[in-house]
């Protein structure tokens, strides 16, 4: 990737983020798209990897149908740059599709070709957001283990807390990860979101040696219901609604670059890790 520097001459870092969950139906993709749109409004460039193999639908929220995916790059049919689709000003999408399962089967030459293309991308991305599948299968684990920040989405559904704990436990035990961010979605208000976080945090404190950071909550208000039903982004259709304000607060919280290890989790590290060479 071409290098970018800030006004002090320091290399700019692409922050890599996963939005993940222990179970489906918690609003992961809606959050990914709204957070990305909020960053784009602020002039940031965002790359989204749609990593949900069964329900790849990020493009739908932007009114686009993406037919390209990482598999075409692996097969040499097109370059990584040409596989990136600009779905909104400052927002680019690459679909993992079935190719995610095949990435670690690439030979050394294929790996090197892809890594070279990653490093030569002409666009600097401020954020690389990965929308993972729900659950604890191998794809979810290695996507979450390759990013700076893992954001686990929970809801008032009791199964959501149980499955989120299971995801955290597996990532901690298997991938040696010990820091996670929590987003409470579909709640009545901030109080309910904070209570959900505390329930999960208490269980983790009792049984696991991990740190949970609460990023905020998103109320399931009428504006969010309408936007989701019509496959629109609530930060665009109702920017002053409680749900939009909650999403903006979460985006700002994620935007904190403190404690980032520049040797870990960047976009090059992510691809090296996914390809099994890190």
pLDDT tens, position by position, 138-183:
889 989 999 999 999 999 999 999 999 999 999 999 999 999 999 9
Show the 3-state SS of 135-195: CCCHHHHHHHCCCCEEEEEECCCHHHHHHHHHHHHHHHHHHCCCEEEEEEEEECCHHHHHH
Question: What is the C-alpha separation between 126 and 73, in angstroms, rounded?
Answer: 23
pLDDT at site 138: 87
Domain residues of the chain, as ranges? 15-274
Least confident of 19-23, 36-40, 142-146, 183-187: 142-146
The pair of three-digit structure tokens given for residue 113, joined into one six-digit string: 């070709």
Least confident of 29-38, 111-120, 255-264: 255-264
* Confidence bin at 2 (pLDDT 50/70/90): very low
Mean pLDDT of all residues in 9-26: 84
Question: Mean pLDDT in the chain?
Answer: 88
Say what the alpha-carbon torsion angle 106, 110, 116, 122 is, to the nearest 10 degrees.
-90
Question: What is the C-alpha separation between 61 and 59, in angstroms, rounded?
Answer: 6
* CATH level 2 (architecture), domain 15-274: 3-Layer(aba) Sandwich (3.40)
Mean pLDDT of all residues in 13-20: 93
The pair of three-digit structure tokens given for residue 185, joined into one six-digit string: 């979605």
The pair of three-digit structure tokens given for residue 176, joined into one six-digit string: 């040696």
pLDDT at site 146: 92
The beta strand positions in the chain, using DSSP E, are 15-20, 46-51, 85-88, 91-95, 127-132, 149-154, 179-187, 211-219
pLDDT tens, position by position, 60-93:
888 887 767 888 888 788 889 998 999 999 999 9
pLDDT at 9 over 70: no
pLDDT at 19 over 80: yes
Mean pLDDT of all residues in 31-53: 93
pLDDT at site 3: 45
Residues above pLDDT 70, as percent of the chain: 89
pLDDT tens, position by position, 217-265:
999 999 999 999 999 999 999 999 999 999 999 999 997 755 666 667 7
């Amino acid at each position: 990737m071409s290098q970018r520097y800030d006004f002090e001459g320091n290399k700019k870092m692409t922050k890599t983020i996963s939005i993940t969950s222990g179970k489906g139906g918690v609003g992961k993709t809606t959050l990914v798209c709204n957070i990305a749109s909020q960053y784009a409004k602020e002039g940031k460039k965002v790359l989204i990897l749609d990593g949900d193999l069964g329900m790849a639908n990020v493009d739908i929220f932007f009114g686009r149908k993406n037919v390209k995916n990482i598999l075409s790059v692996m097969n040499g049919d097109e370059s990584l740059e040409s596989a990136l689709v600009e779905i909104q000003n400052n927002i680019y999408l690459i679909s993992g599709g079935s190719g995610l399962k095949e990435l670690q089967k690439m030979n050394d030459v294929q790996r090197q070709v892809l890594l070279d293309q990653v490093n030569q991308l002409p666009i600097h991305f401020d954020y690389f957001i990965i929308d993972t599948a729900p659950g604890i299968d191998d794809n979810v684990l290695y996507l979450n283990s390759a990013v700076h920040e893992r954001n686990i989405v929970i809801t008032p559904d009791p199964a959501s807390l149980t499955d989120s704990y299971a995801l955290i436990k597996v990532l901690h035990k298997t991938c040696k990860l010990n820091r996670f961010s929590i987003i409470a979605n579909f709640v009545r208000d901030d109080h309910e979101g904070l209570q959900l976080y505390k329930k999960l945090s208490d269980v983790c404190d009792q049984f696991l040696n991990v740190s949970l950071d609460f990023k905020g909550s998103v109320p399931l208000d009428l504006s969010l219901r309408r936007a989701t039903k019509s496959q629109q982004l609530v930060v665009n259709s109702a920017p002053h609604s409680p749900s939009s304000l909650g999403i903006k607060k979460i985006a700002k919280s994620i935007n904190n670059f403190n404690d980032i290890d520049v040797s870990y989790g960047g976009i090059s590290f992510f691809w090296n890790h996914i390809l099994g060479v890190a």
